[in-house]
Every structure is written in structure tokens, then in C-alpha cells.
Amino acid sequence: MALSVSLVIPVYNAARDLQQCLASLSSSSASPLECIVVDDGSTDDSVKIATQHGAKVLSTNGRCGPARARNLGAKAASGDIVVFLDADVCVYPDTISKIIAEFARDPEIDAVMGSYDHSPSAPNFISQYRNLMHCFVHQHSNRGATTFWSGCGAMRRQVFLDVGGFDESHYHAPAIEDIELGYRLAAANRKLALSADIMVKHLKRWSLRSMIETDFFHRAIPWSELTFRSGRMPNDLNLRISQRISVVLAFLVVLLGVYQTVRWHVHFLTPLFAIFFILLSGYWIEGSENQSRFVMALMMSVLGLIVALSYWFRMYPIIPLVLVAWLALFTRHRYAYSREKWRRWTGMLVGGYCLLVMVCVTFYLPWHALRFLFLVIMLTVLVLNKQFYLFLAGEKGKFFALAAIPFHLLYFVYSGVGFMVALLRYSLGKVYRPDAKVKGAVPLAKEAKAKVAGP
């Protein structure tokens, strides 16, 4: 007998994204039994849009968080499989059919999750970088999953009810409630799978601030706390050994940088600023295209600072080297796209020149053993993550990949800080006890039994 599917989509003030999400479902090759949209206290037109698309609309009666919303939707669902989608994703025509095929192919599979695609919707640099990083993690992780993802994840409804659903008592805002559920499923010896060819398009637009806030407060800290409580740190997804080593090395880079800044002041900072300024060329170009006042102001400020410091402390060659690189990058980006051959050759010339500039500028760093240690650690981080940078270069170009390096280093640093904050909180007993029961689990389990025992 064919498996029936219920879609559950939590929404909070995401009318525009929900419109696109529900519209994409109309082109699905497999029709779900029902589409349930759970409103989490929206004040925009989310409910109206869901109704217009024929979705069944439920409400949390206030701002309770996506964990509570998904639990309500799953309890009201009638399908054998519950497919959870975020309101800011669009499915492909074959997304639902591939999910059904996974469960039909292996009756022992309890949950399946997919991946973001290679072409995020929002065009700005931070959105492209952040969403492609998420895509890369899922595309290069093990098929035998150790966690769950609710952005595009499916689960047998009875399994979901039996395990207690999402922990709505602890997660009142979007965080790692899906990861925590996955840990419980794995601990219960449930079979989870990651299917990289099940794809959805992410519509979310990220800013630098929203990215850091989300990664630090809603991922790094709670995920680290979950690690301490569960005693599990699987070598998969964002917790791969290479990523843990990268966090440690990024901290060493920061510590060495701070020490050398204190010891040599601008003689260390000036060439370092110049190197990172050229690395970030893709970010500057994107900001100028979108006429971002913040990015343009930051770019001109950093460029002016490099010129002023180089002149004041007699590092004169740095000035023309950086200015020519800056002019070449913007000129090439503005005029080199009319012919493919011209674009390729100018890319090689400008890229080669920028690489030469960065190598030359390193000679202005203080000649000390710590300088070489600093550079060796930086190179080690790049080697550990070379597959990610090659992936970005293949998707968005080499200048995009170079510009992603400083943001990736920043990601490792604040993730490490989040880990230390979580360790401190855990040590001081400020997180709930490892043996605490999940409040949301008992009602779901009782309801499941009542449904089975009912007429």
C-alpha cells in the first residue's frame, strides 16, 4: 500500500516566503495527503496566504516557537509520513516523491532529511555564503545520519509520537530542537538517513549580524550544551574532527594575532589588513553592486586606513600594490563579462596579481618565529577546509571563495567561544539536568496510545 504524506509547516511572520513555499508545492510530482500550516502568533498575512492555498491552518495561540508548532501539526496529521518544511524553503517537483521513495525502499528507515540546493535565492554575499555552507555540510556528510533536520525532514508519524516529538519545553525559539530530536532518535536505535539528492531551495536573506547571532546564540551554545548533556559528539556534519581542529587553530591564530599586535602594533596590523582586504574583494564587489552603504563605507575606511598606516610607517610599496589590486578587481568585474574568453584571461591575470600582492605584503610582517607560526597555522586551517573552498569556487568563483575565508575563520572563532560559554554554564549547573524529562514527550506518547486504543 502506498505511503501517505502529511506536510507540516510552522510559520511566524513569513508571509512572503510562505507564499513561495506553498506555490512550489503545486508543481510537486507527488501530491501530499494534506498540508498543515501552523501559525505561531503571526501578525502579518501568513494565515491568509495559507488559507488561500488550501492549507489546513492551526494555531499555537501565541508565540511558542517552532517546536510547539511542529508538534501540533504532527499530532493533527493523518499521513503515515510527516514531512516537516520550513516556511522559507521551496520544494522541487521531485522532492516529495524522493522522500516517499526513501521510505518505500527501506521499511526500516524511521526518518529522512534532505539538503539545501546549490543556488540560494537571496543574492547578497552573506546569504550565498551561509546557505552554501549548509548545503556543503549536508552534501558531504554520511548517509547514516546521527541527527535530524526539520528544514526538509520526514519521519514516520508513529515514530515521531513514540519518541515524544520536539522538546517544546526547552526550545521556545528556533534553535536546535531538530538536532536534539535526532539525538533522541539515535539513542533509541532508530534508523536515520541523509539523502543528499532530496533538495529544497532556501529563501532566507542573511545579514552579517543575523548570521552571527543565529550561529552563536541559537546553534553554537545550545548545541554544545546538548553535547555535554548527551555525552555524544559524532564525527559528522558540523562536528567533524576537521572542524573541531579548525576551531582550535582559529583560536591560536587569534591569540597569536593579539600578541603580535600588542608587541609590534601597526607593523603587524598594516600588512595583515592589506592581506585581508584583498581576500575580501568578492565581498566588496558584491556590496558595491547592491549599493550597500555599510559595505562601501567599510571598504573605503579599511582602504584609507591601509594607505594612511603604510605612509605613516614608511611601508610605501604596500600603497600602490593594494590600490592597483583594488582598481584591477573592480575594473575586471565591471567590464570583463561580455566575452567568456576575455573574462577567463582577465580573471587569471587579476587573480595572479592579487596572489602576488598578498605574498609580497607578508614580507612586511615582523621577522620573528611567531610570524611563521602564524602563517603556518593559517595555511593549516585552509588545507583542512580546502574541499569547502573548492566547492565555493566551483559554485561562485575563486574570488567568492577567497572572500569566504575570513568569514569562515570568524565562524570557527565564535563557535569556539560558544562552546566555552556552554561549558561554563554546564559546569555551573545552569542548564537543565541530563535526566530531566522532556515535557512535550509525555502528552504526545499518551495521545498516540489513546489513538491506538480508541474506536
pLDDT at position 127: 95
Question: Which among 67, 62, 59 has a CA at the least distance from the CA of 169?
Answer: 67
pLDDT at position 295: 84
Is residue 440 pLDDT above 50, yes or no?
Answer: no
Is residue 431 pLDDT above 60, yes or no?
Answer: no
- At 87, the pLDDT band (50, 70, 90 cuts) reads very high
Percentage above 70 pLDDT, the chain: 91
Is residue 443 pLDDT above 60, yes or no?
Answer: no
Neighbouring-strand partners of residue 155:
82, 111
Question: What one-character DSSP code corresponds to residue 430?
Answer: -
CA distances from 285 to 41, 244, 334, 399 (A): 39, 32, 9, 10
Tens-digit pLDDT profile for residues 159-177: 999 999 999 999 999 999 9
What radius of gyration do the chain's Cα atoms show?
25
pLDDT at position 287: 75
pLDDT at position 66: 96
Tens-digit pLDDT profile for residues 327-361: 888 776 666 555 666 667 777 788 788 888 888 99
Tens-digit pLDDT profile for residues 255-264: 999 999 898 8
Tens-digit pLDDT profile for residues 18-37: 999 999 999 999 999 999 99
Beta carbons within 8 Å of 27's beta carbon, 6+ residues apart:
93
Tens-digit pLDDT profile for residues 366-397: 888 888 999 999 999 999 999 999 999 999 98
pLDDT at position 225: 92
Order across the sheet with 34-39: list the strands. 56-59, 34-39, 5-11, 81-85, 152-156, 111-116, 192-202, 89-91
Q: How far apart are CA 109 and CA 92, in angstroms?
A: 22
pLDDT at position 336: 55
Residue with cell 603587524: 268
Tens-digit pLDDT profile for residues 271-293: 999 999 998 988 887 777 776 78
Is residue 218 pLDDT above 60, yes or no?
Answer: yes
Q: How far apart are CA 142 and CA 396, in angstroms?
A: 25
If DSSP codes are grouped into helix, strand and coil, which group holds residue 36?
Answer: strand
Domains of the chain: residue spans and CATH: 5-207+436-453 (3.90.550.10), 241-384 (no CATH)
